[in-house]
Structure 1
Amino acid sequence: MEVVSCGPIDIVALGKAHGCLVVGIHIKIKDLDSRASEMLETISNTSWINEFGAVKKISFEARAKRTIQKLVDLIVNRSETELTTDFGEYLVSDSAQCVLNLNCNHLKVPLAELLKEKVSGNPGFDFHTESCESLIAFGEAKYSGSINPYTKALQQIVDFISLEKDSAELDLLENFVSAGAITNYLAGHKAYVAAFSINSEEPERIISKAVSHALTDKLLAYKELYIIGVEIDVG
């Protein structure tokens, strides 16, 4: 995974309200096999479960077991030439988490699907991190093999905020983030991440369009916003 660009965006120059840290990130995945191997290693590492007491350990193990097998099958059986939406979105989620961890000093939280039962409809955000400013970052990932689905990612975040799905996840996230992050959340201070696949010869232009989108304006009331474009070479 190559990080092509990663840095803050001057939203004042775009005529947008100041106060939110907006970071644009462009990732390029050239070796899908290598990235898939890294994902298998990540998803199979359940050492985080051992940090809990007996009751929580049993609960997390029961939830994670089925999801891990499903994701392992998804990765191992992926098509070499055409990615499915399910695998693509997991690839975008995991890659976004990794770049936030390695390049922005975020703390990774176990994949959301490992922590909660999937119910009818979309259960909530795809992934989470804790930023270096002790903010919980709620991430949404969208994949397409033909378009640049940043609008879908941004719209999903706006919809989830309206439905208070971030607040609904707080009891689970409390097990993985700092007390300071919880205090910040209760004070209304949080972050969001829109991650999406890029299908364009001008990826930086796509990221700029996502930053300039009207839906992005609705997220500038929060402390931090990350716009992550994932360019995938499927060979």
Structure 2
Amino acid sequence: MNISDKKTYNMTPFDIPLKVHSILINIDNVRERAEEMITAIQDVCWLNELNPIAKHSYEARAQRTIDKLVNDILKKVEDDVTEEFGEFMISASAQDALVEAFDHVKVPLAELLKEKISGNPGFDFHTETSESLIAFGEAKYSGSKNPYRNALEQIKEFIDLKKHNAEVVDLQHFVTPDAVHNQIQGRSAYIAAFSVNSKKANNIISNAFDSDYLKNLKDQEELYLIGVTVND
């Protein structure tokens, strides 16, 4: 995985308070990326930072999901990318890119924190920004399209349903008190991460930036657009 481009857009001419950043990621070897994800997912050192009750609970939740992700999804990857693996790959890659490009701190993937092993109706991944905002991420994968619309629409739907607020009860264990305080005060960030199926990846980011789907989020504080190209 490598970052090929990152930008911060100036929204002042549009009279919109939303701050928008973009990252483009290239993945050249799917199997190698799957192996990296297996190593990362199996590293549960984050459990050691929890209080005894939280550790006891999250250890039980995480182990079931780790077994499913590793044995049923990641170890079965050859060259073809399924939608299920694709979304996990985009989530993990977006987190890694945000750490590298914008000094975010990763939160364990949402699937490891929740009761349901797959298909959770909530945000796919989270980070904490350098300004102590919880960033809520939605990942969308397609082998033929550029599903930024799906990611942006899903974010808007989840905000309307207040799912970002509902998740704080879990996230409080993995982010700073300042981030929790900011979230309660209505300050947070959002991440739309999606596959890019185009030789002109920058054009896809521009299309997302200019879309009505992004403008529907103009009242938020900060948004990241992350495009992931799979070259394998």
TM-score bucket (shorter structure): over 0.9
Shift of 1:118: 2.0
Distance 1:120 1:200 in 2: 29
State, as a whole percentage, how many aligned pairs show the same letter.
47
Distance 1:119 1:70, change over 3 A: closer
Distance of 1:21 and 1:183 partners within structure 2: 20
Q: Which residue of 1 aligns with 2:85?
A: 87
Give the structure 1 partner of residue 69 of structure 2: 71
CA contact (8 A) 1:22 1:225 kept: yes
Kindly provide the CA deviation profile for residues 186-214 of structure 1, in whole angstroms up to 9, marking residues without a partner as x.
Answer: 11111000000000111100011111111
> Which of 204, 209, 212 does residue 211 from structure 1 map onto?
209
Counterpart for residue 3 of structure 2: 3
Amino acid at match of 2:4: V
- Runs (4 or more) in structure 1 with deviation over 6 Å come to none
Contact 1:111 1:128 in 2 (8 A): yes
Cα separation, 1, equivalents of 2:119 and 2:170: 19
Moved more, 18-27 or 115-124: 115-124
Distance, in Å, in 2 between the alignment partners of 1:211 and 1:136 is 21
1:29 and 1:57 mapped to 2: Cα distance?
Answer: 34
Which letter maps to 1:152?
A: N
From the superposition, tell whether residues 232 and 119 of structure 1 become closer, same or farther in structure 2 (CA, over 3 Å). closer
Q: Alignment partner of 2:146: what SS?
A: coil
Contact map agreement 1:109 1:129 (CA 8 A) in 2: yes
Aligned residues: 231
Say which of 162, 165, 171 aligns to 1:164. Answer: 162
Q: Quick one: which amino acid aligns to residue 51 of structure 1?
A: E
Amino acid at match of 2:188: K
* Superposed displacement of residue 97, structure 1: 0.3
Tell me the equivalent position of 1:128: 126
Distance between the aligned counterparts of 2:90 and 2:213, measured in 1? Answer: 20
TM-superposed CA distance for 1:123, in Å, is 2.1
Match of 1:230 among 219, 222, 228: 228
Question: Normalised by the size of structure 2, how large is the TM-score?
Answer: 0.95
Q: Aligned residue for 1:19? A: 17
One-letter code aligned to 2:8: P
Query: What is the DSSP-based 3-state SS (H/G/I as helix, E as strand, rest coil) of the residue aligned with 1:23?
Result: strand
In structure 2, relative to structure 1, the CA distance for the partners of 1:120 and 1:61 (3 Å cut) is: closer
CA deviation vs aligned residue, 1:122-178 (integer Å, no higher than 9, x gap): 420000000001100000000000100110000100100111111110010000111
The counterpart of 1:193, out of the listed 172, 191, 194, is 191
1:59 corresponds to:
57
Name the aligned partner's letter for residue 5 of structure 1.
Answer: D
2:140–2:150 Cα contact (<8 Å) kept: yes
Partner of 1:144: 142
Report the TM-score, using the length of structure 1 for normalisation. Answer: 0.94
- 2:77 partner letter: R
Where in structure 1 are there 5+ consecutive unaligned residues? Answer: none
The answer to whether the 8 A contact 1:17-1:220 is kept is: no
Amino acid at match of 1:78: V
Q: Is the 8 A contact 2:65 2:117 kept in 1?
A: no
Shift of 1:65: 0.5
